Amino acid sequence: MSAIRDFIGLVGDGVKANQTLWLLVFGFALFPIFSYFADLPFWNDVAMRIMLLGMAAMGLNLVLGYGGMVSFGHAAFIGIGAYCVGISQFYGISNGWAHLGFSIVTCGLAGLVIGYLALRTSGIYFIMITLAFAQMLFFLFVSLEAYGGDDGMSVDRGEFGFIDLYDPLRLYFLIWCALALVSLALMFIVRSRFGVTLRAIKSNESRIEAMGLSPLRFKMVGYVISAVICGIAGTLFASWQEYVSPDIMHWTRSGELMIIIILGGLATLAGPLLGAIVFLLLEESLPMLLGAVAPAYAENWMIIFGPLLIMVVLFGRGGLTGIIDRLSGTRGNADHKAGPR
């Protein structure tokens, strides 16, 4: 019994230290009620896309924010996860749990191989070698004619037993559950001995080595976990989009994930989710806003978006979670340790 009480205590502590994250997750659970009464069913779709990209960014943040490994190729894992659905269905396997299983195993293995090779390097070299692997996979899928090449393949939503994803909101809450579980898992990982060591490696690798631990092993584990999380996001992304194509693993998507994280706040649990919300809503609303001011230039919204990103870097240190913490004066994102130097 005391184990359970300990567990609840742990969860409580974690939630207290990451209020923003859990507020957001809670908000996503209630969002369909709002969209129902406001008669905005389409916004559920936007919310799903935000949750999926947010989830992938949370996975990437484990290596990028906490581990200090700047991976520029995590879109590849989203792509592998998505193709696990497409290719499975191509061979007649329509069970969604099976897709998830394949995705976890495949992404885990891919993460292991890529991580093993890439982690020999560091700094900018690491950025580029991860990009190289992602590009290789991108071109591989572009040329796989059997699976549609770059035209991609239509997929059906996975069959999750008694949950029929074609019923309204089933897919929404499946994605939400995944988001909540990933949030919970990452919260434990970050607060565990492993997470603390990972962060210690980021700030001083040789000290960890001197303590007799192998930094490489910790980094590898982190890399594989983050690959798997991106894979899960990719699998659900395929069901959401009902379509997979290599576009999902284009290098600009890896860049997008990085931007989402920096925007939200590096090495915070809430940051990636908050970043995804703001990033995708800006993408959604900037053309509209610009169109209202200068209709002729509505499609040139990136001329505002670009400088906006620069502003975030120059004036918004620590990203959005940093700003929230400063404004509220609390430490609602206490796991925020290492901001930009």
Partner 1 sequence: MTLTLILEQAFNGLQAGVTLFLVAAGLTLILGIMDVVFLAHGAQVMIGAYAAAAIAAATGNFYIGLLLAVPVTFASGYLLEFLLIRHLYRRDHMDQVLATFGLILFFNELIRIGFGPAALYSDLPPSLSGFVEILPGTPYPVYRLGVILVGLACAIAIHMFVSRTRIGAMVRAGANNPEMTAALGINIKILFRFIFATGACFAGVAGMMLGPITAVQPGMGEPHLILSLVVIIIGGIGSVRGAFIAAIIVGLVDTLGRVFLPAMLRLVVDQATADGAGPAVASMLVYILMAVVLIFRPTGLFPAKG
Partner 2 sequence: MKKVFMIAAMATAVAMAPANAETVKIGYMTTLSGGAGIIGKQMQNAVELALEHKGGKLGGMDAEVIFVDDQRKPDVAKQLANRLVKSDRVDVVAGVIWSNLLMAIHKPVTRADTLLISSNAGPSPIAGEECHENFFSMSWQNDQTPEAMGKYMQDAGIKSVYLMAPNYQAGKDMLSGFKRYYTGEIAGEVYTKLGQSDFQAELSALRAVAPETTMVFQPGGMGINFVKQWKQAGMDGVSKLYQVFTVDGVSLPALKETALGILGTQSWSPDLDNDINKKFVADYKAKFGGYPSFYAAQAYDTIMAVDHAITTSGSKDTDKMRAALAKGNIPTTRGVLKMNSNHFPIQNFYLRDTVLDADGVVTSKVLSTVFTDHADSYAASCKF
Q: Which is nearer to partner 2, 26 or 116 (CB)?
A: 26
| 83: CB partners within 8 A, 6+ apart | 141, 147, 234, 238, 244
Q: CA-to-CA distance for 244 and 24, rounded, in angstroms?
A: 28
How many residues can be counted in the chain?
341
Q: Which is nearer to partner 1, 98 or 259 (CB)?
A: 259
In the block, tokens 């792509």 appear at 79
Give yes or no for a contact between 270 and 18, defined as CB atoms under 8 angstroms apart. Answer: yes
Provide, rounded to whole angstroms, the least separation between the CB of residue 278 and partner 2: 7
Give yes or no for a contact between 271 and 259, defined as CB atoms under 8 angstroms apart. Answer: no
| 238: CB partners within 8 A, 6+ apart | 81, 82, 83, 84, 85, 86, 99, 155, 244
Instruction: For residue 81, give the nearest of 226, 188, 205, 183 by alpha carbon.
Output: 226
Residue 288 binding: pick among partner 2, partner 1, none (C-beta 5-8 Å cut-off by kind): partner 2
309, 323, 334, 337: which one binds partner 1 (CB under 8 A): 309
Residue 233 binding: pick among partner 2, partner 1, none (C-beta 5-8 Å cut-off by kind): none
Q: CA-to-CA distance for 118 and 97, rounded, in angstroms?
A: 30
Residue 281 near partner 1 by CB under 8 A: no
Q: Which is nearer to partner 1, 158 or 264 (CB)?
A: 264
40, 124, 163, 177: which one binds partner 2 (CB under 8 A): 40
Give yes or no for a contact between 191 and 337, defined as CB atoms under 8 angstroms apart. Answer: no
147, 251, 286, 337: which one binds partner 1 (CB under 8 A): 251
Tokens found for residue 116: 């093993």
**Binding pattern for the stretch 216-255 against partner 2, x by CB under 8 A and - elsewhere:** ---------------------x---xxx-x-xx-------
* Site for partner 2, rule CB under 8 A: 24, 27, 38-43, 45-46, 49, 142-143, 145, 148-154, 237, 241-243, 245, 247-248, 274, 277-278, 281, 283-285, 287-288, 298-302
* Site for partner 1, rule CB under 8 A: 64, 70, 117-118, 120-125, 127-129, 131-133, 135-136, 139-140, 142-143, 145, 251, 255, 258-259, 261-263, 266, 297, 300, 302-303, 305-310, 312-314, 340-341
